[in-house]
Structure formats: C-alpha cells, structure tokens
Amino acid sequence: MVKLQGSNIYLAVLERADCRKLYEDFEYDFDNDADFFYIGHSVEKSGEWFDEIQKLQSNENIRLGIFLNDGTVIGDAALQGIDNKNRCCSVGMGFAKKENRGKGYGKQAIKLLLKHGFAYLGMERITASTLEINIPAQKALEKLGFTLEGRERKAVYFRGDRYDNLKYSILLEEYNSGGQTL
C-alpha cells in the first residue's frame, strides 16, 4: 500500500469508509468561499465517489487521502489527468473540516505529491489552477515553487459573478533547483 509520509500528515489510499467520513465531515466555509458548494449531496453519494476514484486510480489519477499521523482522514489530494506521453499532470486537494484548513497540511500534501509525481511517475510538468479569489491557494502554490503562467479571464461563473481562473505550473528543473531535489 502507498503511504507518503510528511511531518504531521501522511497520504495513503482512500477506502470506502474514508470517503464516507469526508462526506460526513464536510463543512463549507461561507466566510472564505473559494470552492464550489454542492447542495443536496447526501453521504450515500460518497460510495459513487469511491467507485469513481477506483475506476480512474493509477490510469488517469492518483487520489490519496490526507491523514493526520493518528490515522484520522481529513482530506484528499490528487495527481490528476496523468499524461504519460507528455509527462505532465495537475495537482489538487481539499479538506473536509474548516479546522484543518490553513494549518500547512495542504502544503505538506502537495510537497509529497510533487515528489511522487516527479520522482516516481516521471512527470516533468505539474500544473494547478485556482480562482482569483482563493488567495491562500495562490500563496501556497507560489511558496512551493509554482509559477503563475496565465489567467483565463472571467472563465468561471461562481456565486453569481464571473472570476478569473489562474493557471500555475512547476517544471522538474524548477523543482530540482528549488532545493527539493529527487
């Protein structure tokens, strides 16, 4: 089983019960609402999510749970859209409870995924995107060595307004030169 260890979190395979727990624990942050809000998704929908993860796992995506060192699942993180021909993919993540956001767990999770993507999957380019209103994500990506490549102007309709979608990337050579050598 895959286990990518950080300092106070680790990434590991999500089981059906973990997906259910993430659905049960999910809290929408109305004060910092930079994520889409899906009203009406019951906890039973978590089973469909687990099935989708399994269908795409290792072929197109590598989605792992974010666990505290005590084994509590707090979120998920993924390398998505894996393109082995062009050696690129994207990275993304999310946390269920508000109390686990903004504590550095996401930065650790992305660091672990970057290492896995570059060192073990042979990726040479990893991308990320976020809305212009998600300032914490932008700061975290830049601290991790991602470069803002572009802006899709007014590309996303969200909360009754249109927002720019920001596109970031980090290349293998940038990752290596940033002191995060493989």
Domain assignment present for 182: no
Whole-model pTM: value is 0.90
The residue whose two tokens read 């672990």 is: 112
SS3 71: coil
* CA-based max dimension of the chain: 46
Domain assignment present for 164: yes
Domain assignment present for 142: yes
Domains in the chain: how many in total?
1
Domain assignment present for 172: yes
Q: Give the orientation angle of helix 45-56 with respect to helix 16-25, to 10 degrees.
A: 130
The CATH code of the domain that includes 170 is 3.40.630.30
Region 20-28: mean pLDDT is 89
Domain carrying residue 119: 3-177
Domain assignment present for 115: yes
157 C-beta neighbours (distance < 10 Å), count:
9
Strand (E) positions, 21-146?
Answer: 62-68, 73-83, 88-95, 125-131
Average pLDDT, the chain: 90
Model pLDDT for residues 82-123, shown as the tens digit of each residue: 999 999 999 999 999 989 988 999 999 999 999 999 999 999
Domain assignment present for 51: yes
Percent of the chain residues topping a pLDDT of 90: 72
Domain assignment present for 91: yes
Is 182 a residue whose pLDDT tops 50? no
